[in-house]
Amino acid sequence: MKETVLKKFAEVFGDSEGAKVYFAPGRVNLIGEHTDYNGGHVFPCALTIGTYGVARKREDRRLRFYSMNFEGLGVIESSLEDLKPSKEADWTNYPKGVIWAFGEKGMAVPCGMDLLLNGNIPNGSGLSSSASVEVLTGFILRDFFGFDVSNQDLALIGQYSENHFKKVNCGIMDQFAIAMGKKGHAIFLDTATLEYEYAPVKLENAKIVIACSNKKRGLGDSKYNERRSECEEALKELRQETDVKSLGELDEEAFERAKHCIGSEVRVRRARHAVYENQRTIRAVEALGRNDVEQFGRLMNESHRSLRNDYEVTGVELDTLVEEAWKVDGVIGSRMTGAGFGGCTVSLVKDEAIDTFIERVGNAYREKIGYAADFYVVEIGDGPCVL
């Protein structure tokens, strides 16, 4: 891939002298969905698929962007003086947003750059191609200009750019999982405090399989912000009886005692998902620590039911992928992953069942939905790097 992107960079920008090649992974969240903005725990891992970038400093203030994933758009030009969101070339808002966010944090980028990207994360899949581009851009800026920021800072700057430049109210999980990725490990992250620990994911004779629904979704125009505000409203109502800063501070018992304060059945269900999912995530990580992969799988299944029934973010595509997965012998657990409303599912599948899983789930999906899903057998990889 390094040679491919360098060759393309030379083709697009004239030559590749002085250019460097970088990589930032995508991520998948094994369990702990829609808990990150509710002060709960998440359990994501970085993947070995992600975004490749070739970058070179310029002598002037111009920014030139090119994506091999959107070749029809050609080279998109901008400048450090013109860092505003673009409607025409939406993907450029991720690198531009990070450059803008560095400036907002007192680290003005002193010169322009040429940047070529090529991602092998399925676009719109919910495996965080956008956060991958954000972390990659931050990593490049640190490498180019010597900014004094840690990988954790890169995650926070990426989130800041998405919240304030892109105006998408995302939590910290995606950028954190990508910036802090560690091969063979998932990250047990408390999103309220950013305390984290690496947990080895030892799947003997089993693999992580991602099924991409190929239903595209946009976070900003989905119901993501609506769900977030429903949880915020429920939290305000619960505070009539409980002194908590976030839903993540409640366990199931405390929630059941106080839920009568919540003024609508819909908000009860939203808050119940956030509370129960957080507790499920804690128990799932404990199960993995005991090598109880079967219990981890059962908790994944429970997570999907809660996202379907209480949080209502699945939809027919994701439900079909998961419900068909549950019918296949050798599937340890399966659930939607990411924000929902399209995107992907993540399943733990025994090695001997992988081919059957892909064939049966794929056939049933095509028959019911009318188009194909794509399947990826993935491995857990490291965070961003220079290649």
> Can you tell me whether residue 270 is helix, strand or coil?
helix
Please answer whether residues 361 and 336 qualify as being in contact, where contact means their C-beta atoms are separated by less than 8 angstroms: no
The tokens describing 65, both together, are: 């962007």
* CA-CA-CA-CA torsion sign (186, 150, 190, 172): negative
In whole angstroms, how large is the CA radius of gyration of the chain? 21
Q: Are strands 185-190 and 195-200 parallel, antiparallel or unpaired?
A: antiparallel
> Can you tell me whether residue 179 is helix, strand or coil?
helix
Please answer whether residues 370 and 8 qualify as being in contact, where contact means their C-beta atoms are separated by less than 8 angstroms: no
Q: Give the angle 154-109-54 at the CA atoms, nearest 5°.
A: 70
Measured CA to CA, the distance from residue 77 to residue 64 in angstroms comes to 5
174 is catalytic: yes
The tokens describing 180, both together, are: 């802090």
What is the amino acid identity at position 153?
A: D
Catalytic entry in 15, 174, 292, 374? 174
148 CB burial (10 A radius; 0-12, 13-18, 19+): exposed
Please answer whether residues 177 and 159 qualify as being in contact, where contact means their C-beta atoms are separated by less than 8 angstroms: no
Catalytic residues: 174
